[in-house]
Every structure is written in C-alpha cells, then in structure tokens.
Chains A and B, each alone.
Chain A
Amino acid sequence: MSKEKSSVPMIMGVIGGVIGLPAAVCAGACVAGLSSLSESTQDASDLGSFYLWMGVIGALLGLYAGIIGKSKSKLSAVLFLAGGFLSGITMIAGNMLALIVLILFLIGAGFSFKNSKI
C-alpha cells in the first residue's frame, strides 16, 4: 500500500505566508522609521523598501511552496528554504515574527523532502 503525501508543507506554507506578509510590511516601515533618525530620508526609505520586498518575496515563495507541496515536492522544499532565508534576513530589522516564519518554512522544507521520496 502506497503512503499518502503529507499536508504539513501546505499548512506550514500558508500559515508562514499569512504571518510573513504583514510582518514584512511592518519590518519595512520599522527600518525606514529607525534609519531616518540617523540617515537621510531617501536612504531610510530605500532601506525600508529593501527589507519590505525581501520579506514579501520570502513569504510569497513560502506560500507558493506550500500550495505546490504535494504535486512538486522537491521544488517545494527548495522554495521553502529560499523563502525561509529571505524572511529570516528581515530578523535584522527587528522583525521577530520572521523567526516563527523561518521555523515554519524549515519544517515545511523537511516534510517536502520527505514527500519527494514517496
């Protein structure tokens, strides 16, 4: 009897995505706000945008990885790792929710690798 593929990557991806997206927006705004105290307004805005996009792309990659978790497991695992990496970087901006997102994506990546062997 063949084993069924796990739904864990999908759950991790979606939950990570919905937590990561707004957290990325907050991280971008926080960085822009804090940087404006010490740097020019333009530099602060650029830095904020950088972290915002980093977090948004990371969360979207994780969300996508979760959705395709069952049909393309290997690709899903790689995307989880990439999404986790990008989201994890935003921790520098004081976005501690990114740590939760990173852990969720790593669990998702592990289960996707496991799914790919079924």
Chain B
Amino acid sequence: MIEYIEIDGFGSISLYNLLIGIGVIFGLLLFENNNKKLPERVKFKLYNILFLSFIFGFLGARISDLFFFSKAISINNLIYGSSTFMGGLMFAVIFSFISTTFARINFFYVINIFIPFIIISHVFGRLGCFFAGCCYGAETTNNFFLGVKFPVDSIPYFHYGDVIPIHPTQLYESFGLIIILFLTKNKKNKITPYLMYYGILRFIIEFYRNDPRGGLLFDFFSPSQFLSILFICLGLFVKWKYGRSTTRTTFL
C-alpha cells in the first residue's frame, strides 16, 4: 500500500489524487480520440459542460456522503470528508442536464459521449482507492487466491485490528469497469449498457464490501445498492426512450 509519494523538500502527493488525475487524462484523451470530427466550437461547449459537471460531481460526492452517513453539513466536513461515487455521478448528471438545456445540446447525446470518460476515470479512481486502502472488502479465507492483506497502519488494519486476507473489492470494480468499457465500446447507445452493467456490478460488489456503508431507508441493502437498482431502472428508461427516437442521439 502506497498512500503518498514523498518528494524531499516539497512534501507529499496523495497517490489517490494522482491516480484520479491520470484517469481524467486518459478519459480526456479517449474523449478526444472518439470525437475528432466534432467542430471546435462544439468541443469547447462539451469541455465546459464536462469541467463544470466534474466540479459539481465532486461536490455532490461529498454532499451525498454527508447525507448517507448522517454527518453534520459543514465546510470542514465538505473539505476533509470522504466521497461517494454514485452520489457524485448523480449530481454531475443533474448538472449536465441543466447545462445542456442552456447550451442547447441534446442531453442524451452529451451523456453518451461522456460515458467512456466516466468509466476510465472511475477505473483509475478505484486503483487509487486500493492504494489508499479505502473501500475495502470483507474478510476472506487464507487460501482464497484473490485475498489481499493490507499492512499495519492501513485503514482495513484499523477496522479489523489485525492483518487478515480480505476481498480486494477496489480491484474487482476496476476490472469490472474495464470489461464494461469494452462492452460499451461500439454501442451507439452507451448509456443503457453502462447503467445496467455498472448497476449490476456494484450491486454484487456491495455484498463483498465491509467499509462503513451508511444507511438509507432500511439496513438490508446499502445506499449504493438502492442507487444501483435506480441505475438499472434508468438504463431501461433510456433504452425505451432511445427506441422511440434514435435520431435524437446522433445530432446536436
């Protein structure tokens, strides 16, 4: 586990943040590569929406964490608190909806071309979680070949009180997301498969996670599992919507 990269005389850089940055770079390169033919003025609009959605998504990730864990709403908690990916994604999508209305671009079109960016950033974000030791999994047996032992002083160590083999749920999710990236690669409608596959993947992974999951409505499912079900339903809704007006997704 490498949480920080120390640079003598300069301080330390969080590997989690750095990996998110690398994910964003790969996401942007993929975005550039997939949309080479778009006019510059349209790309500029899309980049503005992407940047602002990213900022609102980040804020949303923090706000939803406060909500799920019933923490007090304060600037301190917002700055130093933890984040929830699914909450952030929902905030970002809501912001995209508002901004595309103002920019007069089709909302589904924009989300469709943002999907590879979201997936690739998320893949690296989860690798960052692995190095930071957060979002860890439940205990597993010693002979389970995928079991990972986090070192002393890591977050899982403080939770379990010992160095024990646990499910590397961060890596499961990263790997699952790479598969989703390939499954959505040549699809005209990327929104439906992304929402459905990610919803299913996250719903299953939640059973193997053992970090504090927060609460929503009742304790049988975690908040992320409720959101996973919502994602699957939204995926079906988009499929129904696309089925009726496919041309809307191909023109700005």
Of the four ranges (under 10, 10 to 19, 20 to 34, 35 or more), the interface on chain A belongs to 20 to 34
Q: Within residues 135 to 167 of chain B, which ones have a CB less than 8 A from any CB in chain A? A: none
Could you say which of A33-41, A64-72, A81-89 contacts chain B?
Answer: A64-72
Task: Give chain B's interface secondary structure class.
Answer: helix
Q: CB-defined interface of B41-66 with A at 8 Å, one 1/0 digit per residue?
A: 10110011011000100000000000
A71 and B44 contact, Cβ closer than 8 Å, known pairs A7-B29, A60-B55: yes
Answer yes or no: B40 CB below 8 A from chain A CBs: yes
Bound together, the chains give a CA A64 to CA B11 distance in angstroms of 25
Enumerate chain B residues within 8 angstroms of A97, measured Cβ to Cβ. Answer: 7, 10-11, 13
Instruction: Tell me if B32 and A70 are in contact (CB < 8 A).
Output: yes
Interface size on B, residues (CB 8 A): 26
Instruction: Tell me if B32 and A68 are in contact (CB < 8 A).
Output: no
Whose C-beta in chain A lies nearest to the C-beta of B46? Answer: A71
Q: Within residues 72 to 112 of chain A, which ones have a CB less than 8 A from any CB in chain B? A: 72, 95-97, 99-100
Residues of A within 8 A of B (CB): 7, 10-11, 14-15, 17-19, 21-23, 25-26, 60, 63-64, 67-68, 70-72, 95-97, 99-100
CB<8 Å pairs between A and B, sample of 27: A7-B29, A7-B32, A10-B25, A10-B28, A10-B29, A14-B24, A15-B25, A17-B21, A18-B18, A18-B20, A18-B21, A23-B11, A63-B51, A67-B47, A68-B44, A68-B47, A68-B48, A68-B51, A70-B32, A71-B43, A72-B44, A95-B11, A96-B10, A97-B10, A97-B11, A97-B13, A100-B10
